[in-house]
Amino acid sequence: MPQARSNRRQEPQAPPLSPSRLSSILVALALVAGAFFPHPALAQQAADAVQPEVGGATAGVRAVSAQHEMVVTAHPEASKAGLAMLEKGGSAIDAMIAAQLVLGLVEPQSSGIGGGAFLLVHDGASGRLVTYDGRETAPMAASGDLFIGEDGEAMKFFDAVIGGRSVGTPGTVALLAAAHRKHGRLPWAELFEPAIELADKGFAVTERFNALVAANAESLARFEATRKYFLSEEGVPIFPGTVLRNPAYADTLRAIAKDGEKAFYSGPIAEDIVKTIQAAEGNPGLLSLDDLAAYQVKEREPVCFDYRDAKICGMGPPSSGALTIGQILGMVENRDMAALGADNPESWRLIGEASRLAFADRGRYMADSDFVDMPAGLLNRSYLAGRAKLLSGGSDGGPVLTQNDVQPGMPPDDRTLLYADDQALELPSTSHLAIVDRFGTVVSMTTTIENAYGSRLMVRGFLLNNELTDFSFVPEVAGRPVANRVEPGKRPRSSMAPTIVYRGGKPWLAIGSPGGSRIIGYVAKTLIAMIDWKMDIQQAVGLPHLVNRFGTYDVEEGTTAEALAPALSEYGYRVEAKNLNSGLHGIMIGENGLAGGADPRREGVALGN
């Protein structure tokens, strides 16, 4: 029996790669690298850094172009399902729904109907940008001490995650239904056909699927329904190449296809969800039928800000994504990032320092604004210009900010003294979809069940999220409330950053990524790579990662980002080489068509016509 690795490891690891497969990939890369990566070392690495363990030989190697319509998702089957809807005359929303339902089957560790999502839609007909919040909610019975153990201390992260306690009211089904009512063209039930067919007929387990099951085997084995689906009787993870069927998921989808969202939020499916959560051995949860019945999708104002000639729009609270990215870009905007370039440690010092300062504000102020008064001035230009002065230390290669310098600022507002810093931890799973249809509608959606395999609870063929562990585990620090504390009905703060960028008043880019709180760094640097460093979308998503959230500089291991480590250490950072498993998926909308980029670190593909 393969040895199950610790369930604490969240970031997908490379399954073994055969030498022959590796060499065929390297040949493919060598062929395209010269033509598509004229940029020096780092950009060259954008091609070379393709981590072939997670994709096919051509996945993510070069931008895919199309004329009229395009779908980019984390799995070929999901991209195919989405494109099939577009080809039938469906809208980008129709394609998104079909793709999401397939993702819940073929990439179950990342997202699905047991989770939540944030959706940005630029509607081609009205030219309006709408954002939908399908984030999970805390049960009405939950309170600030949800994650405080019997000893009065905050629970350990995985003790809280695994089981019923962490499960928030899923928002994805309500989100799909709301989006379909507003922007759908094809009949609702038709969008379910690809996923139902694939669930009935089965799909081939990939190496990545197998490796992730193996990495989480111990926790997946704790609950019978989950164990039976992912592991053999002896606890062996399902093999690559196995055809995996999920008839329970097909039945669930048939019910929702027929009766709409009410088949999920009430009746037998809802009853099973609640029963599974409340009966979870060792760590039961509080979610009730009333919580499910009361779930509401919220349409919210987008958060938009200017960066050079671009207008960048994203998801506002309860996500911290757009606000934190806006702060980072706002702080580096008066620097000549284009002249500094992608290979210059000074570029990364500036991005890293701006990011640390933005994360300090995020920790102090950002949460579900329906529950906490957030300062209005977080993106105020003069506030950010003041914060940017803190970056001056190293403009000639001088020292970086000390931890004492990296404190939350005082954005122009009178509510800034209320809160203590957040203690929430986030780890990667999640999926991003970008879609453009021939009617000019653009979709950017980040979707999640939070941790890999969420709470590990499986019901009727789908996994339940652990989104509530995105709340702070402690409700207050030194007598001051934490903005992101648990409250009944509240949505946990997120880092998800589905983004749509406008140039010349027209949508120019849809982009986003998984990666927990590193999402913010992944998306911010992709925007800088495309806007300042003029990389094409595939170069930008493949560019090796350098991410700084709280002080340590994470550089992507096995890439040329590591070559910058000595210079960053000299500045005073503690540098750590890590597997930084983003899943950046995007579409650039040019004058002459569409270019799609899929992250070479995962299995995704861009498909279009």
- 3-state SS class at 540: helix
Nearer to ligand GLU, 322 or 519 (CB): 519
Nearer to ligand GLU, 448 or 548 (CB): 448
Q: What minimum distance in Å lies between the beta carbon of 161 and ligand GLU?
A: 11
Cα–Cα dist 19/179, whole Å: 45
Closest by CA to 405, choosing from 393, 413, 419, 417, is 393
DSSP assignment of 156-181 equals PHHHHHSSSTTPPBP-HHHHHHHHHH
User: Are 302 and 442 spatial neighbours (Cβ–Cβ below 8 Å)?
Assistant: no
515 interacts with ligand GLU by CB under 6 A: yes
Q: From the list 219, 324, 429, 559, which residue makes contact with ligand GLU (rule: CB under 6 A)?
A: 429
Q: Tell me: cis bond preceding 318? Omega within 30 of 0 counts.
A: yes
Q: From the list 172, 252, 430, 539, which residue makes contact with ligand GLU (rule: CB under 6 A)?
A: 430
- 3-state SS class at 502: strand
Question: 160: left (phi > 0), else alpha (psi -120 to 50), else beta?
Answer: alpha
Q: 403-425: b or e for each residue (b if 16 or more CB lie within 10 Å)?
A: eeebebbbbebeebeebbbbbbe
Nearer to ligand GLU, 327 or 494 (CB): 494
Contacting residues for 248 by C-beta, under 8 A, at least 6 apart: 460, 461
Q: What minimum distance in Å lies between the beta carbon of 8 and ligand GLU?
A: 15
Q: What minimum distance in Å lies between the beta carbon of 483 and ligand GLU?
A: 15
x/- mask, ligand GLU, residues 377-416, rule CB under 6 A, reads ----------------------------------------
494 interacts with ligand GLU by CB under 6 A: yes
What would the two tokens of residue 198 be? 């694939």
User: Are 523 and 312 spatial neighbours (Cβ–Cβ below 8 Å)?
Assistant: no
What is the total count of residues that contact ligand GLU (CB under 6 A)? 14
Cα–Cα dist 70/232, whole Å: 38
514 interacts with ligand GLU by CB under 6 A: yes
- 3-state SS class at 517: helix
Cα–Cα distances in Å, from 316 out to 176, 384, 408? 19, 18, 19
Nearer to ligand GLU, 122 or 432 (CB): 432
Give, rounded to a whole angstrom, the gap between the first and last alpha carbons of the chain. Answer: 45
x/- mask, ligand GLU, residues 440-459, rule CB under 6 A, reads --------x-x---------
User: Are 394 and 346 spatial neighbours (Cβ–Cβ below 8 Å)?
Assistant: yes
Contact region with ligand GLU (CB under 6 A), list: 31-39, 454-462, 488-496, 593-601? 488-496
73 interacts with ligand GLU by CB under 6 A: no
519 interacts with ligand GLU by CB under 6 A: yes
| Catalytic residue flag (residue 430) | yes
324 interacts with ligand GLU by CB under 6 A: no
Contact region with ligand GLU (CB under 6 A), list: 80-88, 425-433, 483-491, 585-593? 425-433
Query: Which residue type sits at 6?
Result: S
Nearer to ligand GLU, 7 or 430 (CB): 430
Contacting residues for 491 by C-beta, under 8 A, at least 6 apart: 133, 135, 136, 137, 138, 168, 318, 368, 370
363 interacts with ligand GLU by CB under 6 A: no
Check residue 110 and report its DSSP letter.
Answer: T
- The kind and range of the H/E element at 582 are none
Q: What minimum distance in Å lies between the beta carbon of 515 and ligand GLU?
A: 5
Contact region with ligand GLU (CB under 6 A), list: 88-96, 178-186, 514-522, 551-559? 514-522
Which listed residue (430, 446, 447, 499) is catalytic?
430
DSSP assignment of 384-396 equals HHHHHGGGGGGTT
Q: From the list 123, 426, 536, 556, which residue makes contact with ligand GLU (rule: CB under 6 A)?
A: 426
Q: What minimum distance in Å lies between the beta carbon of 236 and ligand GLU?
A: 26
User: Are 75 and 603 spatial neighbours (Cβ–Cβ below 8 Å)?
Assistant: yes
Cα–Cα dist 342/348, whole Å: 8
Q: From the list 393, 516, 604, 608, which residue makes contact with ligand GLU (rule: CB under 6 A)?
A: 516
Q: From the list 428, 454, 475, 521, which residue makes contact with ligand GLU (rule: CB under 6 A)?
A: 428
Contact region with ligand GLU (CB under 6 A), list: 41-49, 58-66, 422-430, 592-600? 422-430
Could you give the maximum distance between any two Cα atoms of the chain, in Å?
65
496 interacts with ligand GLU by CB under 6 A: yes
Contact region with ligand GLU (CB under 6 A), list: 93-101, 282-290, 421-429, 530-538? 421-429
Contact region with ligand GLU (CB under 6 A), list: 212-220, 415-423, 473-481, 509-517? 509-517
Nearer to ligand GLU, 169 or 441 (CB): 169
Q: From the list 437, 470, 487, 532, which residue makes contact with ligand GLU (rule: CB under 6 A)?
A: 470
112 interacts with ligand GLU by CB under 6 A: no
Beta 310-314 vs 499-503: how paired, if at all?
antiparallel
Rounded (5°) CA angle 300-304-308? 170
Nearer to ligand GLU, 53 or 426 (CB): 426
Catalytic positions: 430
The footprint of ligand GLU (CB under 6 A) covers: 426, 428-430, 448, 450, 470, 494-496, 514-516, 519
